[in-house]
Amino acid sequence: MIAAVFNSVSADQIFVWIKHWLVVRTPSPLQTLVSILLTILPIIVIFPALFALSVLLERKGLGRMQNRYGPNRVGLFGILQPIADAVKSLTKEDIVPRAADHVVHYLAPLLLVGAVFLVYAVLPMGRNMVAVDLDAGVLFFFAVGAATELAIFMAGWSSRNKYSLLGAMRAIAQMISYEIPLILSSIAVVMIAGTLSTTIIVDRQAHYTGTLAHWNVFTPWGLAGFILFMISGMAETNRSPFDLPEGESEIIAGYFIEYSGFKFALFFLAEYLEMFSVSALAITLFLGGWSSPFSFLAWIPSWIWFFAKLVVFICFFIWVRGTLPRLRMDQLMNFAWKFMLPMSLIVIFSAGVWRFLPHAVAGSAPLGLVVRWLVCALLILVPYVALARALEQGRHIEKRTYRFAE
């Protein structure tokens, strides 16, 4: 039976096929509803499960980076720790401050999680596996993603707490500042692909020259854009080292200081889901979405490629969190406006040059590729070095001497 199913449909399209099989067998008045539910349900189940997995990975990984064991008590090697964490956070008392604006305080985490889940609608998770194939998918992503800022400010404002308000203001300042390089660095991709549709952007990258895929990250502007996108994505999702909206040492927990129990868990969930969604968009825009990097690996199902890339991204986020200390507010803003913004504009320019340079020089396509590569890489590298030098100018970093603590 199962073998027959595998023969009739490829593993690549198994989920599409299952959904179709189920929808066809429901009575026709319910078909639309069932189809919608079968699209939404996997997203609502899989990504929180991934959240549980990544919390475990994060705790174990950070522990190992700090030469600790990490959680190893619940289950074998602590693999059941997420379940214990979930039970703990669900059974905690939900405390709302008496002075808080109760309605807004209640709505903020729901709006946040809702907005974050909406974003997954336009992310292609495999071949033909996208919830809504919007023409303006990238635009939808950024527009809905910006709603999280509203939710965060609602949380900070309604708590009636100076720390939560400060945290929310920091978060807003940071997210608005980093949204600009985030969007600008993805504009390069949109320009080259000529579309805002995420599915078409992935399709364009799923072609091969020789064995290598046409991923945007394999071009100079794509590589630089990818790095800029990841940095601004980290800032956008309040991940370390840009986690100063929740800096424990200054403002305790930032905007969710007055949240406890399940609402706190929702904030925590939303933070991770945001991280996954930004990673997924980076995969979609720069790393070919569900496509394999080499043509000889294309037999691996597309959804495996997508989730494998996502897990690698999560591990990288954890690695960065274990490495870098938190930035200062002025460093954060300087970095956004003096470095990220000019660099993302330069990347757009370089992408434009890439688009209009001739594909073949003297009738030779490989030579044309080399020339394009060199020109575009120089267009990015030279301003990068100049900008780094200029920002370094006038700053003397000396070894700090301590008068009393020797």
Partner 1 sequence: MFGEGIIQGLLETARNFFGSYVEKDRLTTVQYPEERFELPEASRNFPFLLYDGPDSDAGLRCVACQICEKECPPRCIHIEKSKDKKPDFVGKQQFYPAVFDIDVSVCMSCQICVEVCPFDAIRMDKVFELSTSDRFGGLLWDKQELSKSNDYYREIHPTEAAETDERRTKELAEAQAKAAAAAAAAAAKAAQAAANPPAATPGSAANGAGAPAKQEAANPETALPEAKVKQ
Q: What is the dihedral of CA 152, 234, 243, 390, to 10 degrees?
A: -120
Q: Which is nearer to partner 1, 6 or 69 (CB)?
A: 69
Structure token pair of residue 51: 């959240």
Three-state DSSP class for residue 80 = coil
- CA 64, distance to chain mean position in Å, is 24
Taking the complex as a whole, the smallest distance from the CB of residue 69 to partner 1 amounts, in Å, to 5
Distance from CA of residue 311 to its chain's centroid?
Answer: 11
Distance, in Å, from the CA atom of 146 to the CA atom of 245, rounded to the nearest integer, reads: 16
Nearer to partner 1, 209 or 323 (CB): 323
Q: Which is nearer to partner 1, 65 or 132 (by Cβ)?
A: 65
Beta carbon of residue 75, minimum distance to partner 1 (angstroms, whole number): 16
Q: Is 304 exposed, middle or buried (0-12, 13-18, 19+ CB in 10 A)?
A: middle
Quick note: the x/- pattern for partner 1 over 272-311, rule CB under 8 A, is ----------------------------------------
User: Does 392 engage in binding with partner 1 (CB under 8 A)?
Assistant: yes
Q: In the structure encoding, which two tokens stand for residue 157, read together?
A: 């404002």
Q: Alpha-carbon distance 389 to 237, whole Å? A: 29
Smallest gap from Cβ 61 to partner 1, in A, equals 7
Q: Is the peptide bond before 241 cis (omega within 30 degrees of 0)?
A: yes
C-beta atoms surrounding 137 within 10 Å: 23
Within 188-247, which residues bind partner 1 (CB under 8 A)? none
Minimum Å distance from CB 50 to partner 1? 21
Q: How remote is the C-alpha of 179 from its chain's centroid?
A: 12
Q: What is the smallest separation between the CB atom of 313 and partner 1, expressed in angstroms?
A: 15
Q: State the binding string over 50-69 for partner 1 (x if CB under 8 A, else -).
A: -----------x--xxxxxx
Are 306 and 293 contacting, i.e. CB atoms less than 8 angstroms apart?
A: no
**Closer of 33 and 388 to partner 1 (Cβ):** 388
Shortest distance, position 324 Cβ to partner 1, whole Å: 6
Q: Give min distance, CB of 66 to partner 1, in A.
A: 7
Work out whether 322 is an interface residue with partner 1 (CB under 8 A).
yes
User: At what angle are helices 341-356 and 162-193 packed, to 10 degrees?
Assistant: 10
Determine if 389 is a binding residue for partner 1 (CB under 8 A).
yes
Whichever of 112 and 228 has its CB closer to partner 1, that residue is: 228
Task: Verify binding: residue 319, partner 1, rule CB under 8 A.
Answer: yes
User: In the set 44, 49, 90, 324, which binds partner 1 (CB under 8 A)?
Assistant: 324
Number of neighbouring beta carbons within 10 Å of residue 64: 12
Interactions with partner 1, residue window 67-86 (CB under 8 A): 67-69, 72
Longest dimension (CA), the chain: 81
Residue 240 CB, nearest distance to partner 1 (Å)?
12
Q: Under 8 Å CB-to-CB from 227, ≥6 apart: which residues? A: none
Number of residues that bind partner 1 (CB under 8 A): 18
Binding site for partner 1 (CB under 8 A): 61, 64-69, 72, 319-320, 322-324, 384-385, 388-389, 392
